[in-house]
A = this chain, B = another copy of it.
Amino acid sequence: MERTTRQKTAIQAAIESAQRPLSAQEILVQASLQVTQLGIATVYRNLKSLVLEEKVHVVTLPGENPRYESNTAANHHHHHFQCTTCQRVFDVHDCPGDLKRMAPQGFVVERHELTLYGRCADCNAVAGATGAVATAVHACASGHDPA
């Protein structure tokens, strides 16, 4: 059965306190602050468990390594928006909903993933005001409050 270890706790905490999806490496760095000597293999093993337990889910964007995001009650079904200018990833809490009828005859839709691409508010505002990009990057994919 499942055991509670310092490393699992630290890994889970790292993911939950982040305001954005983290990569395995980022989780290692963050959780290492709590548990020195933490190994990357342990991070991967625990991520696998957490995903199975549905406490965490995976965010996969084309050409990038998987990111892991907390899956708490507060964090219900949502999608993602990646800015094509600054590459940051934002949560989009809206959802088109009625996708069941999109599938071909005889197909049953159980779940869907949607990713939007475009320019985020910051990059739009900045468009032209050269030099402000670096500033925008600091806010990296944190708690925006979409529609």
Task: Please report A residues at the B interface, Cβ cutoff 8 Å.
Answer: 58, 60-63, 66, 79, 81, 84, 90, 92, 94-96, 99, 101-121, 124-125, 144-147
Contact = CB atoms under 8 A, between A and B. Distances in A.
Copies of this chain, whole number: 2
B111 A117 contact: yes
Contacts of A118: 103, 107-111
A49 to B, nearest CB: 16
Contacts of A104: 81, 90, 92, 121, 144-147
A107 B94 contact: no
A94 B103 CA distance: 8
A54 B147 CA distance: 33
